[in-house]
Amino acid sequence: MRWTVSAAATVASTYALDAFAAAAGALVVMSGVLAGLSHGWVVVVLVGSYVLWALGLRTNLRANGALLAATGTSTNVLSKAAYDLTRRFARSERAPRVAAAVGYAGTEVIKELPYYAAAFGAAAATEAITGADALVFLAGANLGAAVYEYGLGRLTSWFLRRRFASFERDWVPGRYLTDYYSTVEPDELATIAFLVDALRHADRDQPILFFGVGPTMHHVFAAADVASEIHLGDYLPSNLAELQRWIDRAPDAHDWRPFVSYTLRCEGVSEPTEDEVTLREDLTRKKITDLIQVDAHHRHPVNRRYATVISPYCADSATDNLTTWRQLMRNITDLVEPGGLFVTAALHQCAGYTVGDRRFPSANVSEDDLRAALRPDFDRSNEVIEVHSTNQDATHGYGGVLLCHARKHQPPER
Ligand X SMILES: C[S@@+](CC[C@H](N)C(=O)[O-])C[C@H]1O[C@@H](n2cnc3c(N)ncnc32)[C@H](O)[C@@H]1O
Task: Give residues in contact with ligand X (CB under 6 A).
Answer: 167, 212-214, 216, 234-236, 239, 294-297, 312-314, 317-318
Question: Shortest gap between Cβ of 361 and ligand X (angstroms)?
Answer: 10
CB 62 to ligand X: min, Å: 19
CA 63/CA 149 separation, integer angstroms = 10
CB of 210 to ligand X, least distance (A): 8
Min. distance of Cβ 278 from ligand X in angstroms? 23
For ligand X, the closer of residues 45 and 82 by Cβ is 82
Nearest-angstrom CA–CA distance, 299 and 200: 29
CB of 226 or CB of 310, closer to ligand X:
310
Identity of the residue, 149 or 242, whose beta carbon is nearer to ligand X in the bound complex: 242
Min separation Cβ 250 and ligand X, Å: 19
Residue nearest to ligand X (CB): 214
Q: How far is the CB of 190 from ligand X (least distance, A)?
A: 12
Query: Which contacts qualify for 224-228: CB closer than 8 Å, 24 or more apart?
Result: 224/280, 224/283, 224/284, 224/287, 225/267, 225/280, 225/283, 226/199, 226/202, 226/308, 227/287, 227/308, 228/287
Q: Which is nearer to ligand X, 27 or 95 (CB)?
A: 95
* Nearest residue (CB) to ligand X, 96 versus 340: 96
Q: How far is the CB of 239 from ligand X (least distance, A)?
A: 5
8 A C-beta contact, residue 413 and residue 386: no
Q: Write the DSSP assignment of 79-136 as a string of letters.
A: HHHHHHHHHHH--SSHHHHHHHHHHHHHHHHHHHHHHHHHHHHHHHH-TTS-HHHHHH
Instruction: Work out how close the CB of 78 gets to ligand X at its nearest, in angstroms, rounded to a whole number.
Output: 23
Q: What's the Cα-to-Cα distance from 200 to each of 64, 119, 196, 308, rounded to whole Å? A: 46, 74, 7, 11
Q: Which is nearer to ligand X, 42 or 209 (CB)?
A: 209
Kindly tell me the sign of the dihedral angle through the C-alpha atoms of 213, 329, 99, 15.
negative
Round to whole Å and give the CA distance between 138 and 117: 11
- How many other β-carbons are positioned within 10 Å of the β-carbon of residue 62? 15
Question: Could you tell me the smallest distance in angstroms from the CB atom of residue 104 to ligand X?
Answer: 21
Closest CB to ligand X among 39 and 304? 304
> In angstroms, what is the minimal distance from the CB of 135 to ligand X?
47
Distance CA 35, CA 139 (A): 13
Q: What is the rounded distance in angstroms from the CA atom of residue 180 to the CA atom of residue 190?
A: 14
DSSP 207-251: -EEEES-TT--TTGGGGTTT-SSEEEEES-HHHHHHHHHHHTT-T
CB 256 within 8 A of CB 246: yes
Residue with smaller CB distance to ligand X, 189 or 236: 236
Nearer CB in complex with ligand X: 29/373 = 373
Tell me which residue of 353, 291, 239, 297 sits closest to 99, measured CA to CA: 297
**CB proximity list for 369: less than 8 A, separation 6 or greater:** 322, 325, 326
Q: What is the DSSP letter of 298?
A: S
Please, which residue, 21 or 67, has the CB nearer to ligand X?
Answer: 67
Q: Under a CB-based contact definition with an 8 Å cutoff, are residues 137 and 119 in contact?
A: yes
- Choice between 80 and 297, CB closer to ligand X: 297
Let me know: does 110 contact 2? Beta carbons within 8 Å: no
Least distance from ligand X to the Cβ atom of residue 191, Å: 7
Backbone φ and ψ for 206, nearest 5 degrees, come out as -125, 155
